[in-house]
Structure 1
Amino acid sequence: MLSALTHPKLADCRRLFLRNYEVMINIGVHDFEKRGEQRVLINVDLYIPLAQSTPKSDQLEEVVDYDFMRETVSRRMAQGHVHLQETLCDDVARAMLAHPRVRAVRVSTMKPDVYPDCEGVGVEVFQIKEEA
């Protein structure tokens, strides 16, 4: 996968990531999908300017805590049923971008149990925060 760090607006950033966070969520548009949860794998990349994420005292408050990514995803899961993976990705990305240190985000979701003949089906979104 080509890194977004090659994007000119992200050249001064580091990337934090959460890989294959497995959640059970009520997701889908079909009636059978609305009756139960499905396994979804969520991936998040956060792009944080080095000036705001390079620790000087080796202290957690100097960086963006990984817990922020997991807790943000968990809060979205707690909101209940979502029809589309696109909606889920957009919601998670919007919440990640609300963090003051985050300049950009990539979020992907994958439903690995939909088809028996492929690894999964999914969606990915990449957003850069508009400059104020």
Structure 2
Amino acid sequence: MADALTRRFFLTGIETICSIGIHDFEKAAPQRVLIDIEVMLDPEMEPAIDNINDALNYDEIRQTVVNISQSRHFDLQETLARAVFDAVRSMKSVVGLRVRTSKPDVYKDVNEAAYQLSDFA
């Protein structure tokens, strides 16, 4: 039964160099940021044929994430995540979205400082 199916795309660990942070050492140089995207797709928009023109192109998602992350300085991960969220959420067939940002190198004794924004559970 097709109605019970959910369709999701995952792009995990998109690595970008981003100017982000409130500390002087963070403002002095860009740092590595990892961004995860989980897209919930409209179940009614499943491609009828094997053609990228009928599907959400994840190249577009990846490039959008990189472009936004490198567009300016972000003080907060929350602000970066919201900018990415708003751009990807407006893409065709996207009915739900989870964005997770992570600064893996900000502290020597912490694996990562991360933030997540989602409009589904």
TM-score, with length taken from structure 1? 0.82
Aligned to 2:9: 16
Please tell me whether residue 76 in structure 1 is matched to residue 50 in structure 2.
no
Counterpart secondary structure, 1:21: strand
Task: Report Cα offsets for 1:25-57 as digits up to 9, x if no partner.
Answer: 1100112211101111100011101211x2222
Q: Which runs of 5+ in 2 are unaligned?
A: none
Q: Which residue identity is paired with 1:98?
A: S
Aligned to 1:114: 106
Aligned to 2:44: 51
Counterpart secondary structure, 1:100: coil
Aligned to 2:20: 27
Deviation at 1:17, TM superposition (A): 1.0
Q: Structure 2: how far apart are the matches of 1:78 and 1:122?
A: 18
Q: Which residue identity is paired with 1:119?
A: N
Aligned to 1:4: none
Counterpart secondary structure, 2:119: strand
Q: Structure 1: how far apart are the matches of 2:57 and 2:92?
A: 13
Q: Which runs of 5+ in 1 are unaligned?
A: 1-10
Q: Structure 1: how far apart are the matches of 2:20 and 2:113?
A: 13
Q: How many residues are treated as equivalent by the alignment? A: 117
Aligned to 1:41: 34
Identity percentage over the alignment?
37
TM-score, with length taken from structure 2? 0.89
Q: Structure 2: how far apart are the matches of 1:16 and 1:97?
A: 13
